[in-house]
Structure 1
Amino acid sequence: MTDNAWFQTISINFISILIVLTIAASVLQGFFRGGSGSARHFVAMLVEAVLAILAMFLAWKGVQLISPWIQMWLKDQNLQIPTTDISALKQAYYTVITSLRDFPLLRFGVLFILGYVIIKQILNHVVDLVLGRWLAERFAMPKRSHSILSSVSGGAIGSIAGFARALMLIAILFIYVSLFPHSMLTPYIESSHMYQKGAQEVISPFTGDFIAEKAPVFTRAVEQEFTNILQRKYEVLDAKIPGNIADAAKEITANATTDEEKAKLLYSWVGTRVQYDWNKVKLYEEQRIWKEQTPEDTFNTKEGVCIDYSRLYAQMARSIGLDVKVVTGLGYDGQGGYGPHAWNEVYLKETNKWVPLDSTWVASGANWFNPPNFDQTHVRDV
């Protein structure tokens, strides 16, 4: 039974329960706080919501102005990934800094979060100075115990606050469903009648077609950028190219005249010289021990798994001036399923295109250098 089928067998929808509990908790809070206490809390919640929206708006506008400047400043630093041995801390530093420089969504997201936190703190302090005393005086808690009328009015105010919180929860779920329509949780969320009512009657009319039109484009952009960040990690990790690898790549491609010829020669060499290390796979599957190795280790031992083939190919290709990526994702296992896999993409100047290749699968006897059906057997990480 799949996880999704397991969800469908549960007659009680926990999304609906969560929404009901959100409203019920607010009603109980209001009942025990009384009328004045609930009113003060409700006003404070409204103020907090307004401040959050204002902070997000200001952060959004601020980042739109500052992000290009930050990118230009980072480019002016002429930061180059060292081709010498560097520590893990420096590897992380170069991965982060060059990613912020080269990947706009990542840069925008980091700056937006920082801007929101700073602006929100400033706005909170300003409001505390301006409204804090007024709220304390206007909605002062009575010293005596609450009357029944006060508790009932508090509960009524709490119910309004509860519905507002429930709508916020539904809005978050609505965004999740829009961004991840194929997620395992999406059908379960959509099966909640309370979610359906809030999403269809309040959230969806309010947003119109904006999320429906923008979400798929945004999701694809985030997926692509996340893939680029993973690739950047390997670019930094394997920036230093050992002399023996560079010499071998130069010798292998000595008679090639085009990028495609060079890329194919390296693809064939790595695929036929390196043997798949089934013992490494067995060690990980049975004992969860991962034998990390560098491209130089793979070159010297002539053994490795898909990520090792891909990293070695990338180093050899870069050593002769080719632009290449290490791509991670899922590969078809030949038995109707997919498993973790890694391969490469290389840029060919003659055609001005990135083409995929899988040197690990050379041993299969088929052509895995930019075949027409490559995307049917290889699925990128998202």
Structure 2
Amino acid sequence: MTDMTWFQATSINLISIVIVLLFAGSIIQGFRRGGSGSAKHLISMLVEAGVAVISMFIAWKGVQLLSPLIQTWLKAQNLQIPSADIGILKQTYYTAITSIRDFPLLRFGVLFLLGYMIVKQLLNLLVYPLIGTWLAERYTSQERRKSILSSVSGGAIGSVAGFARALMLIAVLFIYVTLFPHSSVTTYIESSQMYQKGAKEVIAPFTGDFITEKVPVFTRAVEDEFTNILQRKYEVLDAKIPGNIADAAKEVTASGTTDEEKAKLLYSWVGSRVKYDWDKVKLYEEKRIWKEQTPEDTFNTREGVCIDYSRLYAQMARSIGLDVKVVTGLGYDGQGSYGPHAWNEVYLKETNRWVPLDSTWVASGGNWFNPPNFDQTHVKDA
């Protein structure tokens, strides 16, 4: 029985318990601090929340202005991935810089995070000294003296803070439920009566259709861009195309007149010339030792696994001017389940579209160059 199954089998919902503990803990803190201490704490919480909201707003507006300017500046640098062997630090640098230049969501996210931290730090330097002075004058040592009335008022103020904290937790859970409606965790969250009450009566009316309609769309866009960033890693890693690979690609595609014909010729050649390396798989499964190899290693030894097939195909395709991607994800194993896999996508200018292909599966028979329902046997990483 999995942990989640065990939780679902119990009559007590942990989500409800956490929400209650947040609320109760804040009340207890309020009693201990007293009225003045709780008021100070609540004011500090409100000020911190206000500073965070203002910082996000300023950062958001600032990035909207800066993002296109920075993209233009980076493009003007004409940064080219060197076609030579480079170390891990340079690989990371070129992957990061070219990804920030070419992928708008990543660029916006990086700039927003930096902007938010800078603006928030500046606002803290301006606001907190003033707030500290005001609180020191407002709540004197005499007012902080403990009494029953002070404890009761502190508990009341603590209940307000507890309500806010519980509501923040419910909001985070609400977003998770919206993004992953079919998850077993979602089923468990929604079984909490405390969550249902907060989500249905407070969060849902406040957000309207924004989260349910906009957030999933944004998430899919992030997933697509993340896939492209993973692809950029292999573009940087395999930027240097050895002469023997380029010569072989040119020879293999000599009879092709269109992008599709050339892409198919390479697909057949790689799939029929490279032998699947079961020893490499066994070494990793039994001893967790991964034998890293370059496309040139695969070309010379004529052995490799799916990622090696895909990287070799990508290098050969790029050497003759095709635009190609290395795609990672899950592949159907023919026995009812999926396992880690890699394949390619190639751009065909004649039809203005990207098409998938899997040269690793050529030996297994069948057509794996843009067949119908390719996505039913291949699931991209997200």
Pairwise TM-score range, normalised by the shorter structure: over 0.9
The secondary structure found in structure 2 opposite 1:346 is strand
Tell me the CA shift for residue 139 of structure 1.
2.1
What pairs up with 1:20-169 in 2 under 5 angstroms?
Answer: 20-142=20-142, 146-169=146-169
1:240 aligns with: 240
Percent identity of the aligned residues? 80
Tell me the CA shift for residue 149 of structure 1.
1.3
1:322 aligns with: 322
CA distance in 1, matches of 2:40, 2:315: 64
Query: Contact conserved, 1:39 with 1:139, CA < 8 A, in 2?
Result: no
CA distance in 2, matches of 1:218, 1:378: 23
C-alpha RMSD of the superposition: 1.4
Q: Deviations over 1:142-195 (max 9, x none)?
A: 487511111111111101110011111111221222233344422222221111
- Counterpart residue type for residue 55 of structure 2: A
- Counterpart residue type for residue 270 of structure 1: V
- Counterpart residue type for residue 306 of structure 1: C
2:9 aligns with: 9
TM-score, with length taken from structure 2? 0.97
Give 5+ residue unaligned stretches, structure 1.
Answer: none
Q: Deviations over 1:239-270 (max 9, x none)?
A: 00011111110110111111111100100010
Tell me the CA shift for residue 196 of structure 1.
1.1
CA distance in 2, matches of 1:141, 1:206: 41
Give 5+ residue unaligned stretches, structure 2.
Answer: none
Query: Contact conserved, 1:295 with 1:312, CA < 8 A, in 2?
Result: yes
CA distance in 1, matches of 2:141, 2:162: 21
2:185 aligns with: 185
Query: Contact conserved, 2:258 with 2:350, CA < 8 A, in 1?
Result: yes
Q: Deviations over 1:51-92 (max 9, x none)?
A: 111111111111111111111111111111111111110000
1:340 aligns with: 340
Whether 1:295 and 2:295 are equivalent positions in the alignment is yes
1:307 aligns with: 307
Whether 1:252 and 2:252 are equivalent positions in the alignment is yes
CA distance in 2, matches of 1:5, 1:333: 27
Query: Contact conserved, 1:4 with 1:184, CA < 8 A, in 2?
Result: yes
The secondary structure found in structure 2 opposite 1:231 is helix
CA distance in 2, matches of 1:107, 1:191: 39
The secondary structure found in structure 2 opposite 1:325 is strand
Tell me the CA shift for residue 2 of structure 1.
5.7
- Counterpart residue type for residue 101 of structure 1: R
Query: Contact conserved, 1:317 with 1:323, CA < 8 A, in 2?
Result: yes
Q: Deviations over 1:194-227 (max 9, x none)?
A: 1111111111100101111101211110110010
2:350 aligns with: 350
TM-score, with length taken from structure 1? 0.97
**How many pairs are equivalent?**
382
Q: Deviations over 1:1-44 (max 9, x none)?
A: 56653442233222111111111111111111101111111111
- Counterpart residue type for residue 343 of structure 2: W
CA distance in 1, matches of 2:14, 2:367: 50
CA distance in 1, matches of 2:50, 2:145: 32
Query: Contact conserved, 1:3 with 1:184, CA < 8 A, in 2?
Result: no
The secondary structure found in structure 1 opposite 2:289 is coil
- The 1:144/1:135 distance shift into structure 2, 3 A limit, reads closer
The secondary structure found in structure 1 opposite 2:71 is helix
Q: Deviations over 1:314-335 (max 9, x none)?
A: 0000000000000000000001
Query: Contact conserved, 1:36 with 1:141, CA < 8 A, in 2?
Result: no
The secondary structure found in structure 1 opposite 2:256 is coil
Q: Deviations over 1:101-151 (max 9, x none)?
A: 011111111111111111111111111232220111112344875111111
